[in-house]
Structure 1
Amino acid sequence: MIWGVTHGQKPEVRAKVGGVVEMACRLPLPYTGASVPLHVVEWVRQGFDIPVLIKFGVYAPRVHPNYEGRVSLVRNTVLRVKGLLIEDQGLYECRILLLDKTTDETRNGTWTLLSVTAPPIFTKTPLPVMEALVGNPLSLACVAHGNPPPTITWAKDGTLIGGDKVAVLSGTLSLRAVDREAGGQYECLASNTEGNVTHVTKLKVKGPPVIVIPPKDTSLNMTQDAQLQCQAVADPPNMTYVWQREGENVYHIEALKSRVKIMVDGTLLITRITPDDSGNYTCMPTNGLLTPPTASANLTVRHPAQALLMPPQTYLPTGLGGLVSCLVRAQPPLLRVDWTKDGQPLDLFPGWTLTSEGSVFMATANDDATGVYTCTPYNSYGTMGQSGPTTVILQDPPSLSVCPRKEYRQEVGITLVIPCQTTGDPAPSITWSKVGPATRSQYSVAANGSLLLLPLSKDHQGEWECSVTNRVATVKASTLISVLGTSPHAATLVSVTPGAKQANVSWEPGFDGGYTQKFTVCGEKQEWLSVPVPSSSGSSLQVTGLVPATEYQFSVLPHNKVGTGPFSEIATIRTRSQYPLC
């Protein structure tokens, strides 16, 4: 028989984890005279199928495996639990079964709530030292048990963590993308009313080097030594420095490789600099991770003005303008250029001038121009000397022996040959090109310079240009090709003048393909509508029935008996308001 007594609200017993607790039985033992009847004491726990403890008479109690060695009965019915675990928390009930009754009589005991309080204990933490690659995501997870349930906070280098780059959810700290600043000491703190516990993780960020001292623009005099600084830090720190000039490794530049040295700290040393050393230098430290950074600076070598290599001959076009150039390198900038002709200081003939770059310009090249020239450039540092000589030679500009006609009108699909021929020694080169948008159709140039269109297509329509070039000049001749028997070409220069409920559309017709063409004006507000253009309207149309203060688009579509041409470009307008605001 089960005896039980109910006392309203469940009683509660509190104890700390690891401690000892006693839970009194709320059922009194029934006495009959001077002795206690034969009975069974049973302690059960809510949610457990097997009792925590069963005690029958003088026999040893039977104990649930989870409580082995930790529970006992004291004072006949009191359940004593030692070595409390946080998992012991729950509802317990005492039951007493009398064995000498002839009938079973069941009564429920009162449930006792055992609350086990415990300071936080970590069940999951990140490693004491972790490494992360720049740009990768990272999660640091802290899980702690305790009662009351602990709260978890994160700090970095002693400062509580927050902000857009970091998220903390359920004790896990997440970084969307690790950067250099993410490195440091992270502290996970779990706390409740019973205490707190901390765990520290040191995060090392691995990645490409970071340049801390970039090179600076530097100006030095010729023959001085140049030092371009470049210092970087990295983890891992096994860095090598690469220096480039204008994109080429300095050790691969013949005139430079014997005079350069890259120091341990990344500094580039160039000994006895020359004017050729001027340029843009780029430092690139690398440790093999991801994309290495770069930093650039310009090295300017100050030197007297220097005349560069002169061509042995300079050819000028007879009867046309010509230029005898003095190629100069000067830093500081050029001040003047002195010229000689045939060993004497140059006298400027009528029509001859010196340009700001120091070249000699001749408005009309004639026999006065022939001779041997030298130039000597100067800047504020002086000069590095006279140039080598160049001999000026007159040569006739190219001329056309056979020119194309001004216009060719030909049916589509046939072969069209347009002549463009020249004479000369050496023979000038001849090229053809279409003026304006390039043609999508094929064409070729014959050995004698003629343009071959085989077969003639609609896309060949338009102006073409023949260019004849020799070493002194280029002359050009143009022709217009009109391809007949095609659909019309697109209208151009579409213009729209809006009113409140109408718009005046005008355009420039394209080539008609050799047949009379008509037009359709297409307008769009929500869908395209077509309005045929009467022949009497020519190249304009008033479109009516529009909505005031509304945006419209217009395009013109040409067509003839062969077919429809392409749409013109779209013109967008907004109609005027019907009631203008004052």
Structure 2
Amino acid sequence: MFKLINNSKCFSRNSVFLVFLFVIHTVHFNSYFVNGLLEEEKQPTFLTAGVGDHIAFNCELDFPHEIEIPYSLHWYKHNQEIFSVYEGTKNVLEEYQGRIQLLNSGKNGFGKGSINVTNIRETDSGWYECRVMFPNRSPVSRNNGTWFYLTVDGANLLAIPPMNITILEGEEAYFPCITKNMDTKVSWFKDGVPLNEYLDLSHRSWQSDNGSLIINPTAMGDLGEYRCEAINENGESQSARAYLNVQYKAKVVYAPREVFFAYGRPALLDCHYHANPPLTNLRWMKDGYLFDPYNVQGVFYRRNGSLYFSRVDESHNGQYACTPYNDLGTAGPSPNINVVVRRPPVFTVKPHNLYLKKLGETVDMHCDAIDGDGVHKPIIKWSRKDLAPLPAGRHIIQGGNISIEKIQVDDRGLYECTATNEAATITVETELMVENIAPRAPYNLTANSTQNSVIIRWVPGYIRPYLEYSIWYRPTDTQEWRTMRILSSKTTEGIITNLTPNREYEFMVLSQDKHGDGMFSKALRIFTKKENGDFPDYAESRSTIGAFQQIGAPVNLSVKLTTEGYLVTWDPPNFGREILKTYMLQWTKGPNEILVGTTETKENYYIVQNLDEDETYYFQVLAVSTNEYEARSSKYVLTIPAYKKIKAISIGIIIAIAILGSAFAGLFYARKKWCLEYISGSDSRKPMTS
């Protein structure tokens, strides 16, 4: 009876042991799976820097539920805390004082826990760890440990490099540059220029026996980057850099004695100052009294402290002075600036809007002006609007009039007459046209295509009245040309529709005026897209067109995940490399291929960062030639898995299996207890035998 009950109603030890092994194996498998996904995140980052250089340690903070909460940041080197920050309070180990700063979060791709270590020394090499604590929640720490290993190279000459210093103007500045060998020669540079080329600075600075630099006294112009370069007997060299920050009271550096304002026009009165630390306040005085723009209608403060007058009138005449302030105070007010309100010039004679002449003729254009007060005479000048010089030896200016003799083709264009007095400059335009000259051909043709249409854009040869354009186009495998007229003379683009997908077309633009046809532009060839939206392989199907040589598309486009981001690489075009100007990289996402980013580079690689998980991205590279022709590569499709979702699901599976294992263990214990009680009760009910 005991054997029957034990076999049918109680779990055997072997069965329970097998269940227990299954649970342990499943938990181990899922832990291995999750750890495999996160293995790349746990890999340390190896960095290299030279003595005297600086290095940035990038530390991303992992907030619970991705919601930022109060935290304390800690940096360790070989388990010794070297830097920490909490609620704005920073603690720095003495060895790193003045050499370690917290980077601005979210800029240049650095995380909120990133730091920058400057003036690297030999002793800075080793293991570093970034760690974050959450004092107001449980647990107080998360998986935020980020490891770095720093290797210091090039430490063969310098023992102690210079370090950044901040001092007040007039104090002494000391930059150490101590070498390991006293026979090593040390030279100093400021902003890349030898120190002895700064005449004023060289008289206030000298170099000590150990190579260190001393500046005494310092001036505000001494602010900048200083570099010491050490060279030994064998010609080996090593350099280190440091920055000198000279602080001083805000001071006025320039103030004009007299400024003219144009009556009825806007005006700006500047206060030319220098301030380090930055400006905190700026005060204006007028005629010896405080001038507050907030109490004067039509006068406003600009962000830099300048006074802006929206409409000048006679009441703005007077003596002005400005006084700048910063955290250190002020060096005093500026000298008085005499503001004089003067009426702007007024044209009394204007040239005609248009002068039409034939080759070899003479044109006379008249212009004259007076000051607004009717007393003074402004200065009158003639010039070409395109900044080209007036025809040498063929033009005469008398007063405000200009005469151009023996007109040539190049004389056509826009001319300007300007009248200037102390307060303002006014301008009037006129155009000189030469008869029987066809317009210059359009140039710089560019195109974008779809499956059934092409958009053509160009730059006009001349901008002039009565100018018309027509687009000539044909499939490259036929001889018949078609034309489309552009109705507006101000339009420099056209759309050609009803084209065949996946077919190459040739385009030219003709400019015309009422005197006759001009010249055709250079030809441009482009493919329409395939029916699936992709471009054909240009490297196989495109050909050159005489002088307007084309370029092939980039090939072998690929995208790989690296520690710094997604590395996009490609190979140069198979033809047209000699006219390659630059590459344009574009990446889109989603089924609608929404544009995410675009960049221009001359290299054949680029690192793209901050791509979203659980998204599909499309990459494409354009090769741009010197004549602005574009050739597109085939698209590369990149699908980024939802790592965070996989991590969450895996953790959920582990928790569920652990709960299931606990339930099995509880059930086993209950069944075992019940079996023992049942067997014990059965034994007690057995009849006694004599």
1:391 deviates by 1.7
Note the aligned Cα RMSD (angstroms): 4.9
> Pick from 156, 161, 170: which aligns with 1:223?
170
Residue 271 of structure 1 corresponds to 216
Residue 150 of structure 1 corresponds to none
> Pick from 433, 437, 445: which aligns with 2:384?
433
> Pick from 334, 343, 358: which aligns with 1:396?
343
**2-side partners of 1:237 and 1:567: how far apart?**
72
Residue 36 of structure 2 corresponds to none
| 2:250 aligned with 1:300 | no
Tell me, yes or no, if the aligned pair for 1:319 and 1:366 is still in contact at 8 Å: yes
Tell me, yes or no, if the aligned pair for 2:471 and 2:483 is still in contact at 8 Å: yes
Deviations 1:128-177 (A, max 9, x none): xxxxxxxxxxxxxxxxxxxxxxxxxxxxxxxxxxxxxxxxxxxxxxxxxx
Residue 326 of structure 2 corresponds to 379
Residue 20 of structure 1 corresponds to none
Which range is displaced more, 336-345 or 477-486?
A: 477-486
1:483 deviates by 2.7
| Superposition pairs of residues 116-265 of structure 1, within 5 angstroms | 215-230=162-177, 239=185, 241-244=187-190, 247=193, 249-250=195-196, 252-254=198-200, 256-265=201-210
Q: Unaligned regions of 5+ residues in structure 2, if any? A: 1-155, 535-590, 592-690
**1:230–1:504 distance in 2 versus 1, CA, 3 Å:** closer
**2-side partners of 1:284 and 1:479: how far apart?**
61
Residue 58 of structure 1 corresponds to none
Which range is displaced more, 481-490 or 503-512?
A: 503-512
Deviations 1:301-360 (A, max 9, x none): 112211223222222222222222221111111111122222121244211122222222
Tell me, yes or no, if the aligned pair for 1:412 and 1:457 is still in contact at 8 Å: yes
**1:311–1:541 distance in 2 versus 1, CA, 3 Å:** closer
Q: Which amino acid letter does the alignment assign opposite residue 565 of structure 1?
A: G
Q: Which amino acid letter does the alignment assign opposite residue 465 of structure 1?
A: E
**1:383–1:516 distance in 2 versus 1, CA, 3 Å:** closer
Deviations 1:27-66 (A, max 9, x none): xxxxxxxxxxxxxxxxxxxxxxxxxxxxxxxxxxxxxxxx
Q: Which has the larger radius of gyration?
A: 1
Residue 358 of structure 2 corresponds to 411
1:273 deviates by 1.7
Q: Which amino acid letter does the alignment assign opposite residue 354 of structure 2?
A: E
1:510 deviates by 7.0
**1:518–1:399 distance in 2 versus 1, CA, 3 Å:** closer
Tell me, yes or no, if the aligned pair for 2:470 and 2:486 is still in contact at 8 Å: no
SS for the counterpart of 1:257 is: helix
Q: Which amino acid letter does the alignment assign opposite residue 382 of structure 1?
A: G
1:501 deviates by 8.2
Q: Which amino acid letter does the alignment assign opposite residue 358 of structure 1?
A: G
1:387 deviates by 1.8
Residue 502 of structure 2 corresponds to 549
Tell me, yes or no, if the aligned pair for 1:429 and 1:470 is still in contact at 8 Å: no
Residue 262 of structure 2 corresponds to 317
**2-side partners of 1:286 and 1:455: how far apart?**
68
SS for the counterpart of 1:397 is: coil
**2-side partners of 1:378 and 1:215: how far apart?**
32
Deviations 1:418-456 (A, max 9, x none): 334444557436352325xx6598466735354555544
1:270 deviates by 0.8
**1:391–1:516 distance in 2 versus 1, CA, 3 Å:** closer
Residue 580 of structure 2 corresponds to none
Residue 355 of structure 1 corresponds to 302
Tell me, yes or no, if the aligned pair for 2:271 and 2:322 is still in contact at 8 Å: yes
| 2:481 aligned with 1:531 | yes
**1-side partners of 2:488 and 2:291: how far apart?**
65
**1-side partners of 2:469 and 2:252: how far apart?**
66
Residue 198 of structure 1 corresponds to none
Q: Relative to total residues, which structure has the larger helix share, 1 or 2?
A: 2
| Superposition pairs of residues 110-121 of structure 1, within 5 angstroms | none
**1-side partners of 2:171 and 2:463: how far apart?**
72
**1-side partners of 2:463 and 2:254: how far apart?**
57
**2-side partners of 1:289 and 1:468: how far apart?**
68
> Pick from 274, 283, 297: which aligns with 1:329?
274
**1:340–1:558 distance in 2 versus 1, CA, 3 Å:** closer
Residue 480 of structure 1 corresponds to 431
SS for the counterpart of 1:409 is: strand
Residue 343 of structure 1 corresponds to 288
1:473 deviates by 2.3
Tell me, yes or no, if the aligned pair for 2:205 and 2:213 is still in contact at 8 Å: yes
Residue 575 of structure 1 corresponds to 528
SS for the counterpart of 1:481 is: strand
Identity of aligned residues (%): 24
Q: Which amino acid letter does the alignment assign opposite residue 348 of structure 2?
A: S
**2-side partners of 1:524 and 1:440: how far apart?**
44
**1:232–1:555 distance in 2 versus 1, CA, 3 Å:** farther
| 2:416 aligned with 1:465 | yes
Deviations 1:513-556 (A, max 9, x none): 99998967255748x96737499999999989987413434122
**1-side partners of 2:486 and 2:382: how far apart?**
44
Tell me, yes or no, if the aligned pair for 1:521 and 1:530 is still in contact at 8 Å: no
Q: Which amino acid letter does the alignment assign opposite residue 332 of structure 1?
A: P
**1-side partners of 2:244 and 2:470: how far apart?**
64
SS for the counterpart of 1:565 is: strand
SS for the counterpart of 1:486 is: coil
Deviations 1:243-268 (A, max 9, x none): 346847456423x3332112344432
**1:536–1:286 distance in 2 versus 1, CA, 3 Å:** closer
Which range is displaced more, 377-386 or 292-301?
A: 292-301
Q: Which amino acid letter does the alignment assign opposite residue 362 of structure 1?
A: F
Tell me, yes or no, if the aligned pair for 2:314 and 2:341 is still in contact at 8 Å: yes
**1:565–1:262 distance in 2 versus 1, CA, 3 Å:** farther
**1:219–1:464 distance in 2 versus 1, CA, 3 Å:** farther
**2-side partners of 1:217 and 1:532: how far apart?**
70
Tell me, yes or no, if the aligned pair for 1:432 and 1:451 is still in contact at 8 Å: no
Q: Which amino acid letter does the alignment assign opposite residue 260 of structure 1?
A: S
SS for the counterpart of 2:203 is: helix
1:486 deviates by 0.5
Q: Which amino acid letter does the alignment assign opposite residue 288 of structure 2?
A: G
Q: Which amino acid letter does the alignment assign opposite residue 395 of structure 1?
A: R
Tell me, yes or no, if the aligned pair for 2:471 and 2:486 is still in contact at 8 Å: no
1:241 deviates by 1.4
Q: Relative to total residues, which structure has the larger strand share, 1 or 2?
A: 1
| Superposition pairs of residues 485-564 of structure 1, within 5 angstroms | 485-491=436-442, 521=472, 525=476, 531=481, 533=483, 548-558=501-511
Q: Which amino acid letter does the alignment assign opposite residue 272 of structure 1?
A: P
1:293 deviates by 8.1
Which range is displaced more, 292-301 or 348-357?
A: 292-301
1:497 deviates by 8.4
| Superposition pairs of residues 82-97 of structure 1, within 5 angstroms | none
SS for the counterpart of 1:368 is: helix
1:364 deviates by 2.2
Deviations 1:4-42 (A, max 9, x none): xxxxxxxxxxxxxxxxxxxxxxxxxxxxxxxxxxxxxxx
SS for the counterpart of 2:254 is: coil
